[in-house]
Amino acid sequence: MTGVTRPIVALIAHGAHESGGGMERVFAELIRRAHGEFRLIVISRELAPDLRPLVTWRRVRVPGRPVPLLFVLFYILAGIRLARTKPDLIHTLGALVPNRADLASVHFCHAAFDAANQRDVRVSKPVFRRINTGLQRALGLRAERTSYRVGRIPVLAAVSEGVARELEHFYPGTRVFVTPNGIDATRFRPDPVARDELRRSAGVSEEDVVALFVGSDWDHKGLSIAIEAVALSETPSLKLWIVGLGDQDRFHAHAERVGVGERVRFFGVCSDMERFYQAADVFVLPSLYESFSLVSFEAAACGLPVLATRVHGVDELVADADCGLMMERAPEAFAAALAELASDPHRRARMGTVARRRASAYTWQRSTDTVLAIYRELLGPNRVLAGERAA
């Protein structure tokens, strides 16, 4: 690329790294694959150390908690940073700044979630947490309605077909493309050795059936439903492992109340997530709303059947009963499915084989290629670049 003026792209996100969810990871993978063709300016609070040499990082120093404060401060300060930047193209990870942008990757449609008025009150949240969550969603909805309206941004990049339909419904007139997430199928794959090691260290026998739950925001993701499903399944060999950040005391107390405290285990946040997928037997996700559900695809890539509510991403992955089941968001439904699969290891194996094949089609290279195609279209062949103007 020596002697060639590369387009300057400003990427705006709260963070870009692999230790978070799909939103943080998608920009990390994009940076790795796009920095040779584009000059990248990253405006973010966090950036993985290995990505910093590949970009110009303009760090936004704001606290990580509480989330509403993070959102407001980042919205203002990142907006100021962006206003002082002269890129050829602006790509935001959601509605994060007041500035106009060229492209926004959408991993959560606040308008759709708000319209559904979805709540989970099975395990009562502390008052402060309810206030914090409500304020966070109100801010996200307000920013979304400002940023995504017609004339404000030319392109919205939905992470799944379901989110694309939501955006077309709530923000008509703005072009919508689908840019799905990807997975690393070499990292997320079945591994019998890793399976035996983790199960042995966790005190779980091969006869036990491990249901795995992964994620944060446990009320939203339906952990209480998963816990109650284990109790209702009346399958003594069934265990539930929880990986992710949440209120362990509150949910452990709930497990004790329904009589499965000894069969539910919390592992916290883990950097070696693939080991848990590899050691489990089935993946459960009774979520209220998902935009893509990266964890479901990772679980499927490791050969796990997926039991989930009919949420975006999972509906594309499962499609039918070949590699998982989609069901009503109720403990009774998940209990019946867990009991059925716990008693049929051959069916679990067949479903897991199909699950891996389907999930493996979603690569990070494919994900990046869909984004870069939008970049090239927006920039066009005759657009004068910032570097050329400066010259």
- Would you place residue 388 in the very low, low, confident or very high pLDDT band (cuts 50, 70, 90)? low
In this prediction, residue 130 carries a pLDDT of 73
User: How many angstroms from the chain centroid is the CA of residue 268?
Assistant: 17
Residue 299 contacts residue 196 (beta carbons within 8 Å): no
391 found inside a domain: no
48 found inside a domain: yes
60 found inside a domain: yes
- Residue 347, both tokens: 């069916």
- Would you place residue 151 in the very low, low, confident or very high pLDDT band (cuts 50, 70, 90)? confident
Q: How far apart are CA 228 and CA 328, in angstroms?
A: 14
Assess whether 97 and 232 both reside in one domain. no
Q: How far apart are CA 307 and CA 337, in angstroms?
A: 8
Assess whether 197 and 146 both reside in one domain. no
In this prediction, residue 383 carries a pLDDT of 65
Highest mean pLDDT among 10-19, 62-71, 223-232, 311-320: 223-232
The range of the structural domain enclosing residue 118 comes to: 8-182+363-384
pLDDT, mean of residues 343-355: 96
Q: How many CA atoms lie within 13 A of 293 on its CB side?
A: 33
Residue 42 contacts residue 58 (beta carbons within 8 Å): yes
- Would you place residue 216 in the very low, low, confident or very high pLDDT band (cuts 50, 70, 90)? confident
The 10s digit of each residue's pLDDT in 21-44 is 678 889 999 999 999 999 999 999
Q: How far apart are CA 178 and CA 156, in angstroms?
A: 8
The answer, yes or no, to whether residue 86 has pLDDT greater than 80, is yes
3 found inside a domain: no
pLDDT, mean of residues 57-63: 96
Assess whether 20 and 164 both reside in one domain. yes
The answer, yes or no, to whether residue 116 has pLDDT greater than 80, is no
pTM of the model: 0.89
The 10s digit of each residue's pLDDT in 229-265 is 999 999 999 999 999 999 999 999 999 999 999 999 9
Segment among 59-68, 265-274, 377-386 with least mean pLDDT: 377-386
Closest CA to 49 of 71, 25, 17: 17
pLDDT, mean of residues 353-369: 95
290 found inside a domain: yes
In this prediction, residue 132 carries a pLDDT of 74
270 found inside a domain: yes
Assess whether 304 and 196 both reside in one domain. yes
Assess whether 91 and 104 both reside in one domain. yes
44 found inside a domain: yes
* pLDDT above 70 as % of the chain: 93
Q: How far apart are CA 86 and CA 273, in angstroms?
A: 39
- Would you place residue 321 in the very low, low, confident or very high pLDDT band (cuts 50, 70, 90)? low
Q: How far apart are CA 266 and CA 241, in angstroms?
A: 6
Assess whether 132 and 80 both reside in one domain. yes
Assess whether 213 and 154 both reside in one domain. no
User: What total of structural domains would you count in the chain?
Assistant: 2
- Would you place residue 391 in the very low, low, confident or very high pLDDT band (cuts 50, 70, 90)? very low
172 found inside a domain: yes
Assess whether 152 and 202 both reside in one domain. no
Assess whether 304 and 369 both reside in one domain. no
Assess whether 46 and 143 both reside in one domain. yes
Instruction: Share the mean pLDDT of the chain.
Output: 92
**Residue 49, domain CATH:** 3.40.50.2000
Residue 56 contacts residue 40 (beta carbons within 8 Å): yes
pLDDT, mean of residues 106-120: 81
The answer, yes or no, to whether residue 183 has pLDDT greater than 80, is yes
Q: How far apart are CA 322 and CA 352, in angstroms?
A: 9
- Residue 153, both tokens: 């941004």
Assess whether 61 and 155 both reside in one domain. yes
Assess whether 264 and 329 both reside in one domain. yes
In this prediction, residue 23 carries a pLDDT of 81
